[in-house]
Amino acid sequence: MNERQVPKGYVLLANEKDNLSFDSVSSLAQRLHFHTINEENLPIDSLPKLIFENNQWRVFTDDRKATVGVDFFLPSFYSRLSRQGSEKENVVRAVKGRNKAELPLSVLDATAGFGHDGFLLANAGCQLTMVEKNPLLAFLLAQAIHRVANSDDIIAEVASRIIFHEGDSVDVMKNWQGRRPDVVYLDPMYRVTEQEPRRGLKKTAAVKKNMAFLQQFAAHNSVAEDQLLFKSAIEMAGSKVVIKRAPGAEHLALQTPASSIEGKSARFDIYPL
């Protein structure tokens, strides 16, 4: 990037001891239009900063106070990963349904985001392909999956059921090779509206922070993009498409589902094929 261009954020250059590939980090910086910078030159401003700390890259916003990252070991997420507990998660109930097949259900999570839903599904025994098109989120998510896979924690086996791709899932579905996934799962971002408090959306501080991050970094899909995503998912899935929506939100692409599972913070619309 031309140094005179105004950066959209900064990547703090890692120390050699961090043992990271300089090439992968600087190519990410280029794609994001972030400047790479040393600690002593790091400006105090509100631009996001990608910083390597405690063995992982995280994004610091708001003068290094608020951080966003993807970390499946965070106690608030990790505590949801018991096998019995994950079967009760609405996303798992919606995707697995009454499926009693011996083979693990294959699922394409076409809007992976922070990977939480996809990881819960993999934890419940599904074989996951996750796709995320936003380069910063894709980087953070790939790193988080890699950390789990290389850990000696019990959840390392969950990561072995996940394949991750960075890219647009409409293209991924168009060029799909081999057996089609049983289920395509979509959770495209929805616009935050003033009606949300009335819909009874209760969010924790962490969820609010992640949502603010998504609103800042990941562009909303246009109506046409959401329609294309829906159409591609319906053509691709072997048995059903599941779509996560905010409670009270209209159906994606205005398509009425066969059934829905309603929770406090999300609704899962189910389209059997």
Ligand X SMILES: C[S@@+](CC[C@H](N)C(=O)[O-])C[C@H]1O[C@@H](n2cnc3c(N)ncnc32)[C@H](O)[C@@H]1O
**Is the separation of the CB atoms in 220 and 233 below 8 Å?**
no
Q: Report the 10 Å Cβ neighbour count for 41.
A: 10
Binding map of ligand X across residues 209-228, x = CB under 6 A, - = no contact: -----x---x--x-------
**Is the separation of the CB atoms in 54 and 94 below 8 Å?**
no
* Range in contact with ligand X (rule: CB under 6 A) among 49-57, 107-115, 143-151, 197-205: 107-115
* Range in contact with ligand X (rule: CB under 6 A) among 31-39, 72-80, 97-105, 115-123: 115-123
Per-residue b or e along 86-106, where b marks 16 or more CB atoms closer than 10 Å to that residue's CB: beebbbbbbbbbeeeeeeebb
Among 134, 148, 245, 269, binds ligand X (CB under 6 A): 134
Among 35, 49, 96, 116, binds ligand X (CB under 6 A): 116
Q: According to the binding rule CB under 6 A, does residue 187 interact with ligand X?
A: yes
Integer Cα distance of 257 and 219 in angstroms: 26
Structure-block tokens of residue 143: 């790193």
Instruction: Please say which residue, 64 or 174, places its beta carbon nearer to ligand X.
Output: 174
Residue 39 C-beta: closest distance to ligand X, Å: 29
Q: According to the binding rule CB under 6 A, does residue 140 interact with ligand X?
A: no
Integer Cα distance of 231 and 111 in angstroms: 14
Footprint of ligand X on 30-59 (CB under 6 A): none
* Range in contact with ligand X (rule: CB under 6 A) among 14-22, 98-106, 122-130, 132-140: 132-140
Q: How many residues bind ligand X (CB under 6 A)?
A: 22
Among 14, 51, 128, 137, binds ligand X (CB under 6 A): 137
Residue 107 C-beta: closest distance to ligand X, Å: 12
Residue 35 C-beta: closest distance to ligand X, Å: 23
Which residues contribute to the site for ligand X (CB under 6 A)? 110-111, 113-117, 131-134, 137, 168-170, 187-189, 214, 218, 221, 229
